[in-house]
Homo-oligomer: A and B are copies of this chain.
Amino acid sequence: MAITVVGSVAFDSIETPAGRRERCLGGAATHFSLAASFFTDVRVIAVVGEDFGVAEEAVFKARGIDTRGIERAAGKSFFWEGSYLENLNEAKTHTTDLNVFAAFEPKIPEAYRDSEFLFLANIDPVLQRRVRDEMPDVRLVAGDTMNYWIKDHRAALKEVLKGLDILLINDTEAKMLAGNDNLVQAARAVLAMGPETLVVKHGEYGATLFHKSTPKSRGADLRAPALPLEEVVDPTGAGDSFAGGFFGYLASQQELTPAAYRRAMFYGSVMGSFACERFGTERMQSLTRKEIDDRFILFRELTHLD
C-alpha cells in the first residue's frame, strides 16, 4: 500500500572522519522515501528551490518514487551543514538555512489522496497536524519529531501525537518528551500522549518497540539490534532510513500483526545500517533487495539463539 511522506528535501554538507561531501542530496523525506521505496510505493510532499535539478529528481525517480508533491519555489532549498568529527552518534550543526522551507505550506496532490499510509517526518508540528487532518482516511499514521519541537513547540506537538498511531524518536527525545530519564517509564508516558506504538531508536545500539498493550512485566515488546559496523562513513539520515524501512515494511503487509511490527523493527535496523555505509543517499542508490534480505538474515543470526 502506498505511503505519502511529508518532510524536508534538502542539501547537506557533511564532514565525518571518513571525509567530506558538499551539498549532497539529503533531508528527512528523502532518506525516508528511498528506504521505504524498497518495500512499497512512496509519494513525497516537500518544497525545494531552484537549485534542485534533474540530477536530484533522478535519485527519486530511479527508485520509482512519486515526486509530483515536490513543489518548486523561488529561492534555494533547505541547506544543512554539520560534522561528526568527535562523536559519530551526534551531529554538530554548523549551518541551518531553511530557505524555501521557511514558508513551506504542504499541498497534497489529488493523486496522493488514496494513500493508506502517512508518514509525518520531522517538521513543524503545525504542518504535521494540517497534513494529518487533510488525510483523515489513512489506515496508519506514523511520525517523527526532534528536540527543538519538544522544547519550544510542545503544545502543537501534543496535538500531533493525538493523531499518530506510531511515533519514532530517539532516546534523548523520548526522555525529554516524557520528562523522565528511565526509558520504560518515559515510553509509558509518551504512549499516554496518544500513539499506540512507540519506537525508540538507540543509534549504534539498535531500537526498542513499545506498544500500549505491552504487559508491564515485560518492559518492551522487542529490542532490535544495530549491526556493529566496521566503518560508519556518515550517520546522516540513518534514523530516517530506519523509519523508512520500518514503515515501508509495514505498508507492504496485508495484516498489521504484532509479528509484522517486530519484523518491521529488524527491517528498520537493516536500512539504518546501510544508510551509514556511504555519504548521503549514496548507499540507498546502489542498494538491492537481495542485499536487504541477506542483511535481514544476518540480523536474525546476530540476535537469535537458535
Binding site for B on A (CB under 8 A): 88, 181-185, 187, 202, 204-206, 208, 216-223, 225, 227-232, 259, 262-263, 266, 298, 300-306
Q: Could you tell me if B303 and A223 are in contact, using CB atoms closer than 8 angstroms?
A: yes
Q: Give the one of A202, A216, A228, A231 with max B CB within 10 A.
A: A228
Determine how many copies of this chain the complex contains: 2
Collect the chain B residues with CB atoms within 8 Å of residue A230's CB.
182, 184-185, 216, 219
Docked complex Cα distance between A88 and B259 (Å): 32
Docked complex Cα distance between A251 and B34 (Å): 48
Q: How far is the CB of A277 from chain B (nearest CB, A)?
A: 12
Q: Could you tell me if B223 and A208 are in contact, using CB atoms closer than 8 angstroms?
A: no
Residue of B nearest to A209 (CB): B302
Collect the chain B residues with CB atoms within 8 Å of residue A205's CB.
202, 205-206
Other A-B pairs beyond A219-B229, A225-B225, 5, CB < 8 Å:
A184-B229, A185-B230, A220-B302, A225-B303, A262-B305
Q: Could you tell me if A204 and B183 are in contact, using CB atoms closer than 8 angstroms?
A: yes
CB contact between A206 and one of B223, B259, B298 (< 8 Å): that residue: B223
Collect the chain B residues with CB atoms within 8 Å of residue A259's CB.
305-306
Q: Could you tell me if A182 and B223 are in contact, using CB atoms closer than 8 angstroms?
A: no
Q: Could you tell me if A182 and B219 are in contact, using CB atoms closer than 8 angstroms?
A: no
Contacts A202-B205, A223-B303, A302-B222; A232 near B263 (Cβ below 8 A): no
Docked complex Cα distance between A227 and B217 (Å): 11
Collect the chain B residues with CB atoms within 8 Å of residue A227's CB.
219
